[in-house]
Structure 1
Amino acid sequence: MRMATVLVEVLGPLRLTVDGVAVDVRGAKRRAVLALLALAEGRTVPVDQLVDALWPGEVPESGRQALHSHVFRLRGHLGPASGRLRTLQDGYRLDLGGDGLDVARARALLAAGRAADPERAFQLLTEADALWRGPMLADLADVGPIAAAVAGHAQLRRDVADALVTSGIAAGRVDEVVARAAAAVAEDPLREPAVLAHMRALAATGQAAQALRAGREYRARLADEAGLDPSPALDDLVREIAAGSAPAQPTRPATRLFGRDPEIAALRRLLAGERLVTLVGPGGVGKTRVALEVAARGGTATVLRLAPVTDPAALPHALAAALGLKVVQRDVLASCVAVLADTPGLLVVDNCEHLLDAARDLTAAVLAACPEVTVLATSREPLGLAAECVSRLPPLPLPGAGEDLPRVASVAVFLDRAGRVRQGVASAPDDLRLVADIVRRLDGIPLAIELAAGRLSTFSLADLHGRLDRSLDLLGGRPSGEARHGTLRETVEWSYRLLTDDERRLFRHLSIFADGVDLATAEQLAADLGLGTDPGSALARLVDASMVEAHFGAGTRYRMLETLRAFGLDRLAAAGEAEAAAAHLVRWAVALTGWIETTMSTEREPDADAVLRRELPNLRAAWRLARSGGRLDEAAAIVTALYHAIAYRDLVEIRDWAEELADDPALDGHPRAAAVFGTAAEAAYHRGDYARADRLARAGFARDGGSWHCRTVLSIAALARNDWDDVVSHSLAAAALTDRPYENLGIAALGRAYAGDTEAAWELNERGLAGAPSPSMRGWATYVAGEIDNCAGRHEEAERRYRRAIDLARTSGATFLAGVATVGLLAVRARMGRVQDALRGYREVVDYFARTGNWTHQWVNLRNLADLLRRLGDGDAAARIDAAANAAPDAPAVDGARPAGPAAPVLGRAAVLDLAREAIDRNLSAPPAPRTPRR
């Protein structure tokens, strides 16, 4: 049910409107209560505070009852909106929503005006200025807290007036703000910002003499009444007006610049040795803002803004205007160059990308004729002159783990802009974490961050965070320095329109890759699209145009900022190419996973592991497209190709893919069904559910009794049950179905070793080790050898083999193999009396299996730990761990009863892990026991 809207206006006489109908609130005290609750802006006002405000002297006995009566009657005034006035335990709260208080509206319009282009700012600030209907709450000025609020909001009134005058001058609407500028001075004749704005307005309307006289009068008045001198800004403005070149707006923007000191320092160093430096980067990254700051911190500087210029022939005239020249006859550019030649300093040529050829020619002319002039250009791509030194402006630094969030530049920008819209919006730790995620998802782009923060006038922080997937349209408005581009979408569209058709097409299709591509993939994509230009040249142009970023490391990687990628996906859909692009990405994923599968069985396994981990975000995108598009063949091909990765790497996500696909009814009857079931069974085993693993493997086995995948998982599920005969039979059957039997022979060897036949185990494992081509398979066979030695009591040899298996596993990226080999290693070290080493290792392995969710092996690890704790005299902890393992349905079977003890409670997973960690820490800190010599 919709709650009625309420508007409380305090910028003048108090006024209440409910659903557009004015409501008469009578009685000074009741009106004061309404004003105090409204001015709290959604905060709870304690009863004591209200009572003290209404009766500042002695509170009558009936004071609280009278207050309750006023609140009751206010609810009657609110009518259908009475639910907005809430009684809480310690006070009252009036919820007006985002637009229910004219003060909040004025504040939001001021913030939006400061972030908009001059024309839009003028409209917004005119609306804000009109909200004042006279003296604020004049009839309630005798109420102390209200009087204090009135005084506090006086600054808001001044800020709106100053911003309105400034925007009117910048927008060419100076005639409409001259009177407002004069009124602001009349209200506070000693306030310098108002005086300076009035002088600018007078000068802009051709009243330079009156402007100078206003400056002189202010100087005399300030000296007479306050005994002070004006700031240097007055002298600067007087000189500018006297010279006939009063600027429409200051060179340096009014907002604070965060996090750019390193880039500014680097640019100043470059400019000290280079004649031409071009600052390049994507739209919204802050090139203009940084360039203006460099100009402001230097000496003489001229700023040529090209954003408003659309005709190349107008560039010389724009430069003349920037120099304050009025050229009636002669060559305009020649006149400008003549002036610059006599004025050593910096020329900033801002926003060159849409007039690149003309900007290049103008810059070349200046450099040739003005040897004392240095040029700093900003553009989304280089100018292409031989003398040019290109500097790329990166996004703002993003918050990392453990950083002090408000000190991170990207977060600081958000908080600063948000504070101009709504104070205290992000002060709690949880709020700061939301802000950190917002700026990460916005790539640290200042424009996007400022626009997002500005939206807090409408949304809560959580609502804004939840809507960032629509950031291109959500983030409208025009922050200072980006006057040409209204929304984030328009900013990106501006760069996109400057590309050729082939470049746009390549950009669109690259956007389907979630985490960028390498050079070979980009060139292959360009070739597949049949571009009329050279693929490498098209890609280079996208990099030059700041639509794609090139990252140089182990291999070159081409990525898009998320805002650019979102735009590319939109354009892909608009061009009717989304389905074709999705199909291409899925085909790429099938080919890549096929290569990974093949390469992981060779010496190049570490390379395949690195590619898999690097491309996982792209594979994730391809997987979702395959599933959402009903591409069952491709999904099955991707999952089954990743069987080895699922079996030996703790990439939990791809395990989930396998189990998801196995649950799809459409898989029934598919030629890859058995392989998918077997792969999903392997994933379930690693999730610690060996019972489900067994069921899935048998389901696949029933569809295709010859499936290698299913036979392999049946053998490891039998290992968890201690069914040694099934281990051997399934393993040998699986080995007969493949030309790579190394793993299966090792599993069969484990079955023999655990059954007590170490000689047969050794023979099987040697067959598996012979010719094992990949590091992980050699590591597997070495681990199995360690297990055989352990069963035979050859502990030192077992330790050596475990360590070698761990080294091979880490080399190949086989993290799961490293984990299980470490379990064996710790058990051996515990038996050899190396208790401290074992305890430290147990702490790491407990945490490792907790992270990966493999409870089958976690229970083995915990039982081994319990054995060690019992030998250390920590019998209670050992008994409780064993009791939990004995009761756990996913714990592997053990030979013989475990000594849990009759009184040991059964703990859940989280509790048993806490118990294990506490026991490890306790025993690590205990004095070492005398070491028993080994026999």
Structure 2
Amino acid sequence: MGGVDGTVRVEVLGPLRLLVDGAPVEVPGPKRRAALALLALAEGRTVPVDRLVDALWSGGVPDSGRQALHTHVSRLRTLLGPAAERLRTRQDGYRLELATDELDLAEARALLARARVTADPAATLPLLRRAHALWRGPVLADLTEVPPIAVAVADQERLRQEVTDALVARAVEAGDGADVVGLAAAAHAADPLREPAAVLLMRALAASGRPAEALRVGREFRRVLADETGLDPSPALGEVERAVAGGAAGAVGPDPPARPAPATRLIGREEQVGALHRLLAQERLVTVVGPGGVGKTRVALEIAGRDEAPVVLLAPVTDPGTLPHALAAALDLEVSRGDVLAACLALLGDRPGVLVVDNCEHLLAGARDLVEGLLAACPRLAVLATSREPLGLAAEYTYRLAPLPLPEPGGDAAAAASVAVFLERARRARPGPAPGPDELRLVADIVRRLDGLPLAIELAAGRLSGLSLADLHARLDRALDLLGGPRTGDARHRTLRATVEWSYQLLTEDEQRLFRHLALFPDGADLATAEQLAADLGLGGDPGGVLARLVDASLLDADFTGATRYRMLETLRAFGADRLAAAGEEPAAEALLVRWAVGLTGRIRVGLDGADEAAADAALRREIANLRAAWRLARRRGDLDAAASMVVALYEAIAYRDLVELRGWAEELAADPALAAHPRAVAVLGAAAEAAYHRGDTTAAERLVRAGLARDPASADAWYCRMVLAVVALARGEFALTVEQSLVGAALGGEHRECLGIAALAAAYGGDLDRARALDERGTAAAVSPSMRSWAAYVAGEIEGLAGDLTAAEAHYRTALRLARGAGATFLVGVASVGLLAVLARAGRVHEALRGYTRVVDGFARTGNWTHLWTTLRNLADLLRTLGDDRTANLIDAAADRAPDAPAVAGVRPVPPPDGPVPDRTEILRLAREAVGRAVQPGTSGERSASR
């Protein structure tokens, strides 16, 4: 165990920044910067070469892709200088090893995690302030055209929201509410429909002695929520309102027989032991359930030791008839004649105490009868049982024991109980110095991959007697067989596989089949999916009963947050996949998963195109991990029909949602030579063209639609291509072509889609407002889904804005925003926001407009949609120019004029050439944000305009 020379820090919570030995290092070239970002975002995990190549060349991997990647990695090592050894080459990829304090994202997570487990609010404030200060601007804004980075950026925005909420809440609890009112107000302004942000602002205001303002925030939130979504707030808002109105600041005899003695101390289970002690004081029967290896016996023995309770060990017992003898042995009772159980019950009598009955699952019926008899005959006795499934008695309280807590990504690994268990067992296997940061990162990854199961962790640490830590880590893909214990004692604990096998063999054949097939769902399955899978497998009986049995047997975990969902530990998924292959069922099971995905995306397509769009959007977002697995299976199996069906069905999501990954699927499939002869090739090419358009590559978009139309220009699928060709023409200012292609698309795809709205925009931008209104009215009348109604309202806002009726335009834009937000159509939220901000600025509501620009700019930057981002920035430049900030406005316009993905703008006045070079995209975003920040400061022209 050793370290490396040189310090390094990578910062991704803003523009990508690399520091080596404390000094910033320039990382030239977008591909190299993206490679560094992907390696850093992996947080110490190996990134496979194929994944890096696919990400860096998402539009199609060149023949030289692997060599080019190798060159970029080599240059990155040069940039790392004395820290070059941090960038390691592994058999299947590359890994960048960073400590928690060497990656700002990891540092933010660690600080948040520490704050969450610190009881004193005042003590958490410095942690949360440090975490909040780590964000330096738009996150990786120049790299979001790389799909995995775009997905990570969205996750980081959610993390920033969590940090902000925690900071405001803890500040209020610590009596520092006045210090965070501004922060709470900004969070609320950034997302006015998010109730937690409104509640936190109310609490901060109340704690600052401003209860009237707090109540006004609550009333305004109720009004906006009702106007834009038709929903009512949760009871939490009413509770805070009542607390504020009520004046609450911050609202809110013989020697006992020998018991089994554990050989090691119990780590990380203090909370569970305490909870079980409290339960045993109130309940007659408490059964600790959980998967094999989770530590049920060890926790029970800890309680038995503290309470001096006898322990009935059932693991060695195979005959239910000998259970009374096992009880007698635990009580140190010798019965030479007569009824053994009666003698045991007489001994226990009505004395108070606790009895532990361990490992009941393989003798469930007999153990149930034994415990039932004990409870009936011994009125003051409490029984603590352990089992992989409940006993099924009426008096039973089921306590499900979870695996040990895992280290937070980027957090203090040594503080996690799972890591502490590994390190203690490792010291016994191989005494030596304390591990360094590199070793701790390996240990953290090991315990994560072992699901925090204590047995697996102990077995893994024991393997260090013959393996190095790195060797153990590299072989964890064989964990089920690698982690073997001594070849003595209970055979169930010899290997992790044997431990899982023990539970598996207790299942019926039908239960085993469903377990094996569910293992292919990486993010679990909801009840309807699991029941359909059971039906597809032809299982007998009620599928719900089979699922309940798997949950009871601790082979599935039931999550009741929202809709019921069934998930497996990764260790159990690996076992299930192995058994699936051993049974020869893997090809058929994979086909079922792909078929499920095709069916689901088909239903999502219908939902996104109808009135219940919000439910379809939620289903898509909920199942994205499973759909990803099915997509990769379909591609690996060469199932072009399934892949094409999925891409075409998800067209609406590609066009109107921030799920950038789906756009990558479309472009990947369009580049497949086998697509040429496929009957859905035209639709796939249209979807890929839409994806290219959203990342600003209108040239690629036009090439793809031309290829699609060359195949079959009159088919119904040609609608996809006509629509994209129309928006590309619109971006180039070719209004006549836009109208022509839009009307052809409407005839092919139906007037309920967006084609008439696109034609109306072209007519309006071309000066024919009467024709624009007529076209949009046709589209509005036909629109069914909320997103298409939002689109029609947005178009109406554009038309009325051009006509000079700012009041009508604002009303249309707000309608568009309400509908789009409710449907999850994030792209429409962005474009409608741009239109609304322009109208607000023209109406003299400058400060209100300025506050919105940062949110909209960041939104388009996260998804890499520079075509619409340039439009937004041009509008902002016009506003900045009226406020006297000509320098920033001219730089923005100059950059837009030179950008190949910026839409054409008619009648743009010449922009004076900048004094120096035109800033790149990252710099332009920084300049724009700083300009807005200056403009909204009190005393600036923007503030004065807003107060008129």
Cα separation, 1, equivalents of 2:433 and 2:746: 66
Tell me, what secondary structure is at the counterpart of 2:312?
strand
Match of 2:737 in 1: 726
- 2:770 equivalent in structure 1: 759
Paired residue for 1:836, among 833, 844, 847? Answer: 847
Is 2:392 the counterpart of 1:391? no
CA contact (8 A) 2:848 2:946 kept: no
The residue aligned with 1:211 is: none
1:351-500 to 2 correspondence within 5 Å? 351-398=359-406, 406-414=414-422, 417=425, 428=437, 439-452=447-460, 468-477=476-485, 484-500=492-508
Shift of 1:711: 0.4
Structure 1 residues 576 and 877 mapped into 2: Cα distance closer, same or farther (>3 Å)? same
- Counterpart-to-counterpart distance in 2, 1:603 and 1:436: 46
Name the structure 1 match of 2:281: 272
Do the aligned partners of residues 422 and 273 (structure 1) sit closer, same or farther apart at CA in structure 2, a change above 3 Å counting?
same
Cα distance between partner residues in 2 of 1:463 and 1:756: 70
Q: Which amino acid aligns with 1:390?
A: T
Tell me if 1:827 matches 2:838: yes
Report the alpha carbon displacement of residue 811 of structure 1 after superposing the two structures with TM. Answer: 0.3
The Cα of 1:589 is off from its aligned counterpart by 1.1
User: C-alpha separation between the residues in 1 aligned to 2:917 and 2:660?
Assistant: 31
Q: Structure 1 residues 312 and 934 mapped into 2: Cα distance closer, same or farther (>3 Å)?
A: closer
2:297 pairs with 1:288: yes
Q: Residue 656 of structure 1 is aligned with which of 660, 664, 687?
A: 664
Letter in structure 1 aligned against 2:880: L
Structure 1: distance between partners of 2:413 and 2:846: 42
CA separation of 1:286/1:582 partners in 2, compared to 1, >3 Å: closer, same or farther? same
Q: Against the structure 1 CA distance between its residues 481 and 599, is the aligned structure 2 distance closer, same or farther, given a 3 Å change threshold?
A: farther
Q: Tell me if the contact between 1:687 and 1:854 (Cα under 8 Å) persists in the aligned partners.
A: yes
Q: 2:747 matched to 1:739?
A: no
Q: Verify the 8 A CA contact 2:257 2:330 in the aligned structure 1.
A: no
The offset of 1:509, in angstroms, is 1.2
Aligned AA (1:888): A
Deviations 1:220-247, CA, capped at 9 Å, x for gaps: xxxxxxxxxxxxxxxxxxx99xx59555
Matches within 5 A, 1:791-870: 791-870=802-881
Query: Residue 288 of structure 2 contacts residue 296 of structure 2 at CA under 8 Å; is this kept in 1?
Result: yes
Distance in 2 (alpha carbons) for counterparts of 1:291 and 1:865: 65
Deviations 1:170-191 (A, max 9, x none): xxxxxxxxxxxxxxxxxxxxxx
**Residue 695 in 1 paired to residue 703 in 2?**
yes
TM-superposed deviation, 1:457: 6.2
Matched residue, 1:56:
none
CA distance in 2, matches of 1:934, 1:704: 58
* Residues 1:682 and 2:677 aligned together: no
Cα distance in 2 for partners of 1:42, 1:933 equals 60
**Is contact 2:484–2:495 with CA below 8 Å preserved after alignment?**
yes
Give the corresponding residue for 1:170: none
Q: Distance in 1 between matches of 2:884 and 2:903?
A: 25
Deviation at 1:839, TM superposition (A): 2.5
Structure 1, unaligned runs of 5 or more: 1-40, 46-88, 91-238
Give how far 1:670 is off. 0.8
Separation in 2, partners of 1:302, 1:470? 38
Kindly state the Cα deviation for residue 877 of structure 1 after the two structures are TM-superposed. 2.2
Counterpart of 2:303 in structure 1: which amino acid? Answer: V
1:367, 1:374 within 8 Å by CA — same for their partners in 2? Answer: yes
Letter in 1 for 2:772: A
Distance 1:479 1:254 in 2: 20
| Cα distance between partner residues in 2 of 1:460 and 1:709 | 56
Question: What corresponds to 2:911 in structure 1?
Answer: 899
Q: CA deviation at 1:487?
A: 2.4
Asked whether 1:782 is paired with 2:793, we answer yes
Name 1:63's counterpart in structure 2: none
The CA deviation at 1:682 is: 0.7
Match of 2:567 in 1: 559
Matches of 2:256 and 2:616 in 1, distance apart? 69
Cα shift readout 1:872-929 (whole Å, capped 9, x = no counterpart): 2222222222222222222222223551524241222223222322333333336222
Task: Give the residue type in structure 2 aligned to 1:257.
Answer: I
Matched with 2:129 is: none
The offset of 1:255, in angstroms, is 2.3
1:346/1:374 contact within 8 Å kept? yes
Asked if 2 retains the 8 angstrom alpha-carbon contact of 1:878 and 1:900, the reply is no
State how far apart, in whole Å, the 1-side matches of 2:563 and 2:488 are: 38
The aligned residue for residue 927 of structure 2 is 915
- State the aligned residue count: 697
- 1:736 deviates by 0.5
- Cα distance, 1:471 vs structure 2: 3.6
Alignment of 1:171-570 (within 5 A): 250=261, 252=262, 254-258=264-268, 260-297=269-306, 299-341=307-349, 344-398=352-406, 406-414=414-422, 417=425, 428=437, 439-452=447-460, 468-477=476-485, 484-570=492-578
- Aligned-residue CA RMSD in angstroms? 3.1
1:731 Cα deviation (Å)? 0.6
Change in 2 beyond 3 A, CA 1:815/1:467: farther
Aligned partners of 1:303 and 1:349 also within 8 Å: yes
Check conservation: 1:291, 1:376, Cα contact below 8 A.
yes
1:362 Cα deviation (Å)?
2.1
Aligned residue number for residue 124 of structure 1: none
Instruction: Say which SS state the counterpart of residue 266 (structure 2) adopts.
Output: coil
Unaligned runs of 5+ in 2: 6-80, 83-252
Distance across 2 between alignment mates of 1:557 and 1:499: 21
- Give the partner amino acid of 1:492: V
> Which structure is larger by alpha-carbon Rg, 1 or 2?
1
Mapping for residues 876-887 of structure 1, pairs under 5 Å? 876-887=887-898
Could you tell me how far apart the structure 1 residues matched to 2:939 and 2:458 are?
58
Give the stretch that moved more between structures: 805-814 or 527-536: 527-536
Task: Report the Cα offset of residue 679 of structure 1.
Answer: 0.6
Distance in 2 of aligned mates of 1:655 and 1:844 = 23
> How far apart, CA to CA, are the structure 2 residues paired with 1:693 and 1:481?
66
Q: Structure 1 residues 493, 709: closer, same or farther in 2, change over 3 A?
A: same
Aligned partner of 1:24 in structure 2 is none
Deviation at 1:597, TM superposition (A): 0.9
On the 8 A contact 1:879/1:904 being kept in 2, the answer is: no
Task: Give the Cα separation in 2 of the matches to 1:763 and 1:565.
Answer: 57
* Worse-matched range after superposition: 631-640 or 826-835: 826-835
SS in 2 for 1:603: coil
SS at match of 1:273: coil
Instruction: Give distance in 2, aligned partners of 1:683 and 1:487.
Output: 48
Q: Secondary structure at the match of 2:264?
A: coil
Partner secondary structure for residue 365 of structure 2: helix
For 1:502, give the aligned amino acid: D
Which amino acid letter does the alignment assign opposite residue 782 of structure 2? G
The Cα of 1:752 is off from its aligned counterpart by 0.9
CA distance in 1, matches of 2:661, 2:546: 35
AA at the equivalent of 1:657: W
SS at match of 1:736: helix
- CA deviations 1:64-103 (Å, max 9, x no partner) are xxxxxxxxxxxxxxxxxxxxxxxxx99xxxxxxxxxxxxx
Q: Which moved more, 1:910-919 or 1:632-641?
A: 910-919
Match of 2:681 in 1: 673
Cα distance change on mapping 1:446 and 1:837 into 2, 3 Å: farther
The alpha-carbon deviation at position 850 of structure 1 amounts to 1.9
SS at match of 1:892: coil
Deviations 1:825-882 (A, max 9, x none): 2222223333332222221122212211111112222222222222222222222222
- Rate the CA distance shift 1:462–1:738 in 2: closer, same or farther, 3 A: farther
AA in 2 matched with 1:651 = L
